[in-house]
């Protein structure tokens, strides 16, 4: 047996049938009667089920081989039904055979060969009661002949109805059996063109008058036309036979032969393939819709609900089986209050939750034939907008440094790192103070990368780098036309960009008073308003501010808002200057030397005398000054070892390091003693002459303190 071709596209007469459940549907009958369907809707989602989509496919039976020799005799012997495979899948199929059109023996043979098919004889006048019976028994496919098929198709709009088509073999078989040799035969059928009648007429020597009728024209008129044309024998269907009996005209019923039966079976296979193809397609889209996190509801041109996915069912808190094929007015009022199938976006509130509802029309031949509601939870939309912003600015606004990048071995720097890690686990604002060049931004980035916000932007801005009239637009953003020169598309502010991340405000003391007022509102209310707009934009970001100024003194002087100071100074962090942690000077210098020593394989080393000389200096520029010295050394070094003479070459004549050490003739011991004496004097003055407090802060005893002070 050959393999069947691929499933065909659903035929035109099958489209719109069985593809969408009606749920409690009824079938219209003549005279206002309806037939209720017993079967439940195929799927609660509004799409066809997948239950039969994966069932086994079989090869369709081929038409029996016929070489033109005694086709009728083969049919009578039942040989044409031998070795036929069963029909594909388990669709309930009903063959309605006209009485007298097929012998009972043939019905038994086909019933044995196709056990999944129900064969039943039917009188055409009982088709209305038969339609009710078919609807109750739940058949998927019905095969009938002539007028019966036309009527059942009207009565059962949700069931596939297939026609038995009379073939030339059936006509030939009847003429041979009844021995209508040399006679004029009238053939009456329902809109049926039978090919091959001319050949039958020539071979058998008979004249065949082919007449068709429609329900409007009637059968009686066609019978009279046949008689008027001299027909001595009239053949046709069962209904023609019934009408002929009423008129007193004998009409012979054309039998259903194996060729006609096989053609009907092939059509059944095609319909089954079309059903399976449609179910598979609908199941695919059904699963796709149900896996969406957004709610989706579709309506047709009559504003009836045709599909609802699982997410929409949860949103509206109603089972979808109660809403399918019902008016949109069965949905929550928020949907249809201003319902119209046009491209619109709106915000509706359902069950104490805000949703963005997008209405999209469905067009067919440029005409609106339905629409789709798409529901997005408003919070998810805001989260997606943030994700887009993060992806757009991730390369530009990111934190590069971590606590592992902090160089230092002193107790002071270790305490700062420990405290900073504790701060990183919170969401509170932080104020970092310290002299210029101590690494305030280094700690800000490290705190960000150690926090839960590390995957989000780190936006840094130097408040002193922007003019006073430009800084607000950079911080808060602006809309189109906000001011002269504004971008046509507007611009998001740094707070928007840093949403769910961290904003680092360096040199916060340089911010003008008016901008401080706007910043206070952002810190308190957690939203920004772009320049030229009235729409607040919610933000969720942490603020880390830094300054080298004395903010409490500026607050007392009225140069900095007190309320803003307390909002920023929730957690405070003071970075100690390099002179108070001199054991960190050499590691920091070596770090920069080895980091930038690209041309040499060996690491840079420093002599003991050079180390003592470097530690004797106060380093007012802190780490930034150390970095400068490292770059100068790399420029003049011929080896990877640094001596005190190398330091003499890189020190500028007017630099503090030169001025403090030139009179020492680079005596390392003397330089160290001088540095210790100067440090002790400064600490004693800072402690108001309290020697015990000064010695405690320096980490030495009182006797060591007095010994340093007495040195020449």
The tens digit of pLDDT for each residue in 319-334 reads 877 888 888 777 777 6
pLDDT of residue 601: 63
46 versus 680: the higher-pLDDT residue is 680
pLDDT of residue 696: 80
Q: How confident is the model at residue 63 (pLDDT cuts 50, 70, 90)?
A: very low
568 versus 235: the higher-pLDDT residue is 568
pLDDT of residue 251: 86
219 versus 25: the higher-pLDDT residue is 219
The mean per-residue pLDDT over the stretch 158-172 comes to: 84
pLDDT tens digit string along 186-197? Answer: 888 876 667 788
pLDDT of residue 509: 92
What separation in angstroms does the CA of 50 have from each of 93, 121, 261, 282, 319?
A: 19, 33, 30, 8, 20
Question: What would the two tokens of residue 710 be?
Answer: 């007495």
Judged against a pLDDT cut of 60, whether residue 72 lies above it is answered with: no
Which residues fall within 8 angstroms of residue 320, CB to CB, at 6 or more apart?
44, 45, 46, 308, 312, 313
pLDDT of residue 655: 54
Strands 367-377 and 295-300: antiparallel
Judged against a pLDDT cut of 60, whether residue 109 lies above it is answered with: yes
What separation in angstroms does the CA of 57 have from each of 21, 90, 110, 244, 613?
A: 24, 10, 21, 45, 91
pLDDT of residue 402: 92
pLDDT tens digit string along 359-372? Answer: 788 888 778 788 88
Q: How confident is the model at residue 17 (pLDDT cuts 50, 70, 90)?
A: very low
Judged against a pLDDT cut of 80, whether residue 28 lies above it is answered with: no
The SS3 of residue 246 is helix
502 sits in the region (left: phi over 0; alpha: psi -120 to 50; else beta) called: beta
276 versus 480: the higher-pLDDT residue is 276
Of 76-90, 157-171, 316-330, 413-427, the least confident:
76-90
pLDDT of residue 432: 96
431 versus 696: the higher-pLDDT residue is 431
Judged against a pLDDT cut of 50, whether residue 567 lies above it is answered with: yes
345 versus 521: the higher-pLDDT residue is 521
58 versus 382: the higher-pLDDT residue is 382
Of 98-107, 167-176, 473-482, 588-597, the least confident:
98-107
Above pLDDT 90, what percent of the chain?
13
Is the overall model pTM greater than 0.75, yes or no?
no
Q: What is the 3-state secondary structure (H, E, C) of 465-521?
A: HCCCCCHHHHHHEECCCCCCCCCCCCEECHHHHCCCCEEEEECHHHCCHHHHHHHHH
pLDDT of residue 173: 82
pLDDT of residue 222: 83
Judged against a pLDDT cut of 80, whether residue 216 lies above it is answered with: no
Whole-number average pLDDT of the chain? 76
What separation in angstroms does the CA of 652 have from each of 358, 629, 668?
A: 69, 10, 19
Above pLDDT 70, what percent of the chain?
76
Of 84-93, 229-238, 272-281, 307-316, the least confident:
84-93
Give start and end residues of each alpha helix (H) in 509-620: 513-525, 551-556, 562-568, 585-596, 608-615
Judged against a pLDDT cut of 80, whether residue 548 lies above it is answered with: yes
pLDDT tens digit string along 423-440? Answer: 999 999 999 999 999 999
Q: How confident is the model at residue 547 (pLDDT cuts 50, 70, 90)?
A: very high
Q: How confident is the model at residue 506 (pLDDT cuts 50, 70, 90)?
A: very high
Q: How confident is the model at residue 52 (pLDDT cuts 50, 70, 90)?
A: very low
Tell which residue, 372, 321, 360, 328, has the closest CA to residue 46. 321
> Is the CA virtual torsion 359, 364, 370, 373 positive or negative?
negative
Instruction: Report DSSP letters for 132-190, one per residue.
Output: HHHHHHT-SEEEEEHHHHHHHHHH-TTSEEEEE---HHHHHHHHHHHT-TT-EEEEEEE
Q: How confident is the model at residue 488 (pLDDT cuts 50, 70, 90)?
A: low
DSSP code of residue 459:
E
pLDDT of residue 596: 75
Strands 542-547 and 502-506: parallel
Rg (CA), the chain: 47
Which residues fall within 8 angstroms of residue 425, CB to CB, at 6 or more apart?
450, 451
Of 98-102, 441-445, 580-584, 684-688, the least confident:
98-102
Quickly tell me which residue has 């012997």 as its tokens: 77
DSSP code of residue 304:
B
The mean per-residue pLDDT over the stretch 332-358 comes to: 72
Judged against a pLDDT cut of 80, whether residue 482 lies above it is answered with: no
Other beta carbons less than 10 A from residue 415's beta carbon: 11
Side-chain-side CA neighbours of 240 within 13 Å: the count stands at 28
The mean per-residue pLDDT over the stretch 205-227 comes to: 79
Orientation of helix 608-615 relative to helix 585-596, angle to 10°: 120
> Is the CA virtual torsion 166, 168, 173, 174 positive or negative?
positive
pLDDT of residue 489: 67
pLDDT of residue 227: 87
């Amino acid at each position: 047996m050959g393999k069947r071709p691929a499933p065909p596209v659903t035929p035109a007469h099958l489209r719109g049938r069985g593809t969408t459940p009606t749920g409690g549907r009824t079938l219209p009958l003549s005279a206002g009667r309806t037939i209720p369907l017993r079967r439940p809707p195929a799927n609660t989602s509004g799409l066809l089920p997948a239950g039969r989509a994966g069932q086994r496919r079989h090869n369709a039976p081929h038409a029996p081989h016929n070489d033109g020799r005694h086709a009728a005799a083969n049919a009578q012997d039942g040989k044409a039904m031998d070795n036929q495979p069963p029909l594909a899948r388990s669709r309930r199929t009903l063959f309605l055979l006209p009485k007298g059109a097929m012998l009972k023996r043939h019905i038994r043979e086909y019933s044995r060969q196709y056990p999944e098919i129900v064969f039943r004889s039917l009188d055409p006048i009982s088709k209305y009661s038969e339609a009710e019976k078919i609807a109750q028994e739940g058949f998927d496919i019905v095969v009938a002949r002539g007028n019966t098929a036309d009527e059942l198709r009207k009565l059962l709009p949700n069931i596939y109805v297939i026609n038995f088509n009379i073939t030339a073999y059936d006509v030939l078989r009847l003429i041979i059996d009844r021995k209508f040799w040399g006679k004029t035969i009238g053939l009456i059928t329902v809109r049926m063109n039978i090919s091959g009648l001319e050949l039958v007429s020539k071979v058998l020597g008979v004249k065949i008058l082919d007449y068709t009728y429609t329900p409007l024209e009637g059968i009686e008129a066609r019978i009279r036309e046949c008689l008027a044309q001299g027909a001595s024998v009239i053949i046709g269907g069962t209904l023609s036979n019934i009408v002929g009996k009423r008129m007193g005209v004998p009409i012979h019923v054309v039998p259903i032969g194996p060729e006609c039966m096989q053609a009907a079976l092939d059509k059944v296979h095609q319909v089954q393939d079309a059903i399976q193809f449609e179910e598979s397609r609908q199941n695919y889209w059904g699963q796709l819709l149900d896996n969406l996190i957004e709610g989706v509801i579709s309506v047709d041109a009559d504003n009836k609900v045709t599909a609802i996915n699982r997410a929409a069912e949860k949103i509206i808190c109603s089972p979808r089986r109660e809403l399918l094929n019902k008016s949109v007015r069965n949905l929550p009022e928020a949907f249809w209050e201003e319902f119209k199938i046009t491209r619109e976006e709106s915000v509706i509130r359902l069950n104490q939750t805000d949703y963005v509802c997008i209405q999209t029309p469905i067009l067919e031949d440029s005409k609106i034939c339905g629409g789709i509601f798409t529901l997005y939870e408003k919070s998810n939309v805001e989260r997606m907008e943030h994700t887009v912003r993060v992806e757009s600015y991730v390369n530009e606004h990111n934190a590069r440094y971590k606590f592992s990048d902090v160089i230092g071995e002193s107790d002071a720097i270790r305490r700062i790192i420990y405290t900073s890690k504790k701060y990183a686990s919170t969401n509170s604002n932080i104020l970092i103070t310290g002299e210029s060049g101590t690494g305030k931004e280094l700690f800000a980035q490290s705190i960000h990368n150690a926090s839960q916000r590390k995957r989000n932007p780190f936006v840094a801005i130097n408040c002193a780098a922007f003019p006073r009239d430009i800084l607000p637009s950079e911080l808060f953003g602006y809309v189109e036309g906000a001011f002269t020169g504004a971008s046509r598309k507007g611009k998001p502010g740094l707070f928007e960009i840093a949403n769910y991340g961290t904003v680092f405000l360096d040199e916060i003391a340089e911010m003008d008073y008016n901008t401080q007022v706007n910043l206070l509102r952002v810190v308190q209310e957690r939203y920004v308003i772009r320049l030229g707009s009235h729409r607040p934009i919610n933000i969720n970001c942490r603020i880390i501010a830094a300054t080298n100024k004395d903010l409490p003194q500026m607050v007392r002087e009225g140069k900095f808002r007190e309320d803003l100071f307390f909002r920023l100074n929730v957690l405070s962090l003071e970075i100690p200057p390099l002179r108070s942690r001199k054991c960190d000077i050499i590691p920091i210098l070596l770090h920069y030397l080895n980091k930038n020593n690209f041309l040499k394989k060996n690491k840079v080393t420093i002599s003991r005398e050079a180390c003592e000389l470097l530690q004797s200096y106060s380093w007012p520029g802190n780490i930034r000054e150390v970095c400068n010295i490292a770059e100068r050394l790399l420029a003049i070094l011929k080896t990877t070892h640094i001596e005190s003479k190398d330091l003499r070459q890189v020190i500028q004549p007017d630099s503090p390091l030169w001025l403090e050490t030139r009179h020492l003739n680079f005596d390392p011991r003397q330089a160290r003693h001088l540095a210790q004496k100067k440090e002790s004097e400064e600490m004693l003055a800072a402690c108001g002459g309290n020697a015990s407090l000064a010695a405690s802060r320096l980490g030495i005893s009182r006797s060591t303190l007095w010994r340093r002070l007495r040195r020449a």
